[in-house]
Amino acid sequence: MTPVFTGFYLLTGATGAIGKEIARDLASKGEKLILAVRNMDKANELREELLRDYPQCQTIETLKLDLADEQSVRDAVETLDCRHIGGLKGVINNAGVMSRRYGVDSQGRELTMAVNYCNTRLLVERLKDRVETGGVIVFTTSLTRFLHRRKDYPIRFEAKRFSQLGTYGQSKRMITEYARQLAVELKGRVRVNCADPGIVDTGMISMQRWYDPIADALFRPFIRSPRQGAEPALRATYAEASGKIYCRRRIHEI
Ligand SMILES: NC(=O)c1ccc[n+]([C@@H]2O[C@H](COP(=O)([O-])OP(=O)(O)OC[C@H]3O[C@@H](n4cnc5c(N)ncnc54)[C@H](OP(=O)(O)O)[C@@H]3O)[C@@H](O)[C@H]2O)c1
């Protein structure tokens, strides 16, 4: 009989600034990892780096996952089946994007919404039954979710309704609302938490506007490093609690 492999943490956006720090911490603890990312060259480079730096970490898989493409999510889940990966210890949804301009995914949905909400939700819906009892699902939220009060929002909308920060904030609000519902659904079996990294010195905070160099000079020295930005996600992963948002210092109910 073919053995089924269990006990992996699946981490999305592992090749990003905060994602790398999450991966390094998990690897330092000898956890088994699946780096679920869109760029396989970057994934293989990171895999080698982690295996070199953390010999205690013996199993690191890479998995192609483009969250701008619904079919890629389905293919990624199928690939886990082909590789006989059964139970997951955790799913850490760290990948995210804040598109500068209006664009659509393969399904005609606005891109930021598709990556941060629709396809992240689809991935979790497909994986939630694989998460082992006592395991965890973590979502990455943002302070920008407070820019909106609506819990739902059209995911197919015209360019004129798009704004870089506004649409991003709405996507984070919706994924946080989904996390709240999932925490209720999986209560007692799987922990569901959110992480709010704060403002972190990564490519994500660039608005790709003329004032970026001025903002960089004024603010970047005072904001959090990617390592500090990873701390809420790590606390959300290792905590015994469920239904919480882990922030820089505080912990809130979702
Ligand atoms: N930086 C902040 O101040 C801040 C604040 C609040 C929340 N966050 C959240 O923190 C998380 C990590 O962001 P970061 O600051 O570390 O930014 P980052 O360095 O740009 O990392 C973003 C990650 O998401 C991945 N990604 C983007 N689009 C994707 C797609 N279509 N399919 C699969 N992966 C995709 C990127 O892949 P590549 O490596 O291939 O580019 C990258 O690994 C995000 O969810 C972000 O919204 C960040």
CATH code for the domain of 164: 3.40.50.720
Q: What is the pLDDT of residue 2?
A: 76
Nearest CA, atom 21, ligand 1: 16
Say how many Å lie between the CA of residue 13 and the centre of ligand 1. Answer: 6
Atom of ligand 1 lying closest to residue 168 CA: 47
Q: What is the pLDDT of residue 4?
A: 82
Q: What is the pLDDT of residue 230?
A: 98
Backbone angles phi, psi at 63, to 5 degrees: -140, 130
Arithmetic mean of pLDDT, 9-28: 98
Integer CA distances (angstroms), 110 to 72, 74, 115, 246, in order: 17, 19, 9, 28
Token readout for 208 is 């790709």
Q: What is the pLDDT of residue 205?
A: 77
Judge whether residue 234 has pLDDT over 80: yes
Say how many Å lie between the CA of residue 116 and the centre of ligand 1. Answer: 9
72 within a domain of the structure (yes/no): yes
Q: Which residues contact 43 (CB under 8 A, 6 or more apart)?
A: 14, 15, 35, 37, 62, 63
3 within a domain of the structure (yes/no): no
Print the domain residue range for 170.
8-240
| Pocket of ligand 1 from Cβ distances under 6 Å | 13, 15-19, 37-39, 42, 65-68, 94-97, 115, 140, 142, 197, 199-200, 202-205
- pLDDT 10s digits, 127-167: 999 999 999 999 999 999 998 777 677 888 889 889 999 99
Atom of ligand 1 lying closest to residue 66 CA: 32
- pLDDT 10s digits, 192-216: 999 999 999 998 877 677 777 776 7
254 within a domain of the structure (yes/no): no
Q: Can you tell me the distance from the alpha carbon of 209 to that of 207, in angstroms, rounded to the nearest whole number?
A: 5
CB 22 within 8 A of CB 233: yes
Q: Can you tell me the distance from the alpha carbon of 199 to that of 146, in angstroms, rounded to the nearest whole number?
A: 14
CB 148 within 8 A of CB 161: no
Ligand 1: which of 98, 202, 216, 225 to mutate, judged by most atoms within 8 Å of the beta carbon? Answer: 202
Atom of ligand 1 lying closest to residue 224 CA: 3
Backbone angles phi, psi at 154, to 5 degrees: -65, 135
Say how many Å lie between the CA of residue 92 and the centre of ligand 1. Answer: 12
Atom of ligand 1 lying closest to residue 69 CA: 31
Ligand 1: which of 69, 147, 167, 204 to mutate, judged by most atoms within 8 Å of the beta carbon? Answer: 204
pLDDT grade, residue 220 (50/70/90)? low
CB 127 within 8 A of CB 136: no
Bridge partners (DSSP) listed for residue 226:
none
Give the total number of structural domains in the chain: 1
Ligand 1: which of 18, 24, 141, 222 to mutate, judged by most atoms within 8 Å of the beta carbon? Answer: 18
Token readout for 142 is 């943002």
Q: Can you tell me the distance from the alpha carbon of 124 to that of 120, in angstroms, rounded to the nearest whole number?
A: 6
Atom of ligand 1 lying closest to residue 13 CA: 43
Find the helix or strand (DSSP H, E) in which 51 lies: helix 40-53
Count CB neighbours of 84 within 10 A: 11
Q: Which residues contact 109 (CB under 8 A, 6 or more apart)?
A: 118, 155, 156
Backbone angles phi, psi at 27, to 5 degrees: -65, -35
43 within a domain of the structure (yes/no): yes
Say how many Å lie between the CA of residue 204 and the centre of ligand 1. Answer: 6
Q: What is the pLDDT of residue 58?
A: 80
Distance of CA 41 to the CA centre of its chain: 19
210 within a domain of the structure (yes/no): yes
- pLDDT 10s digits, 51-101: 999 999 889 999 999 999 999 999 999 999 999 998 999 999 999 999 999
123 within a domain of the structure (yes/no): yes
143 within a domain of the structure (yes/no): yes
249 within a domain of the structure (yes/no): no
